[in-house]
Amino acid sequence: MSKIRIIPCLDIHNGRVVKGVNFVGLKDAGDPVEIAAAYARSGADELIFLDISATTDKRDINLDIMRSVAKAISIPFAVAGGIRTIDDFRRVLEVGASKVGVNSAAIANPSLLSEAANEFGSSCVVLALDAKKRADGSGWNVLKNGGQTDTGMDAVEWAIKATDLGAGEIILTSLDRDGTKEGYDLELNKIISENVSVPVIASGGAGKLEHFYDAVTIGKADGVLAASLFHFKELEIMDVKHYLKERGINVHL
């Protein structure tokens, strides 16, 4: 079994790290370069930077921040938000990112995934999948534009299609659980993980140590992502790693 990755997510808005609940009610959490460096020192396996307003504001991602982050850390990091073209992939990778995440643009143009995979390799292409449970409980729909627009697409079907096209990893965010600290959507994570052959990173809902364990054992996640828990020092990354290690989960110490 490959090692389970513990991944802090830094939501970027106007050049600052922020955190909200269900993608709204944003609070300032600090400078992204300083926070990235602190996470790298404290044992994070990877980082994810999500420019949460780049798509809705129709602007480019802040490459200067990503360039500074790359100089400040030695662990891999992914960048998402505002990625629309192959040139965007190229620019983000050139400033030092290891992976590029795409959501809305891939929904509008699925061939972007295959083009990026052919150009840079599937390992660099991450599908950022935001999902919300349908009111009738029959499954999950895919959302885009920072969780503001319900596409009506089925999340499982989209995950399968996207990975067939070349996405080498999925960051799976439950909009129902994001920022709630009530635990990951284990049912959602399990069904996506069982239907694709690429790593799935569970996102949205971490509130206590048990949630990370459940995401791996029940939700079948290959990595676990959290934001506010780590930003506001409610849990340390090594606390999570030691907890998982003690329960037989393979993590990098």
Residue 25 carries which DSSP code? Answer: E
Tell me, yes or no, if 130 is annotated catalytic.
yes
Rounded to whole angstroms, the Cα distance separating 80 from 193 reads 21
The average confidence (pLDDT) of the chain is: 92
- pLDDT tens for 97-113 read 999 999 999 999 999 99
pLDDT of residue 227: 87
> In this structure, are residues 151 and 144 in contact, taking their beta carbons and an 8 Å threshold?
yes
> C-alpha angle with apex 110: 11 to 70, nearest 5 degrees?
35
**Domains observed in the chain:** 5-246 (3.20.20.70)
pLDDT of residue 59: 61
> In this structure, are residues 203 and 157 in contact, taking their beta carbons and an 8 Å threshold?
no
Bridge partners (DSSP) of residue 174 are: 131
- pLDDT tens for 7-27 read 999 988 888 888 655 445 567
pLDDT of residue 146: 79
pLDDT of residue 58: 63
User: Who wins on pLDDT, 229 or 240?
Assistant: 240
User: Percentage of the chain with pLDDT > 70?
Assistant: 93
pLDDT of residue 16: 85
Rounded to whole angstroms, the Cα distance separating 45 from 66 reads 17
- Among candidate residues 45, 130, 214, 222, the one labeled active-site is 130
pLDDT band at 244; cut points 50, 70, 90: very high
Strands 169-174 and 140-144: unpaired
Of 86, 102, 115, 112, the residue nearest 50 (C-alpha): 102
**Amino acid letter, residue 192:** I
- pLDDT tens for 115-132 read 999 999 999 999 999 999
Bridge partners (DSSP) of residue 96 are: none
- Asked if the model's pLDDT at residue 173 lies above 60, the reply is yes
- Among candidate residues 11, 178, 185, 222, the one labeled active-site is 11
pLDDT of residue 158: 98
Tell me, yes or no, if 214 is annotated catalytic.
no
- Asked if the model's pLDDT at residue 41 lies above 60, the reply is yes
Rounded to whole angstroms, the Cα distance separating 44 from 229 reads 13
- Asked if the model's pLDDT at residue 57 lies above 90, the reply is no
Three-state secondary structure call for residue 80: strand
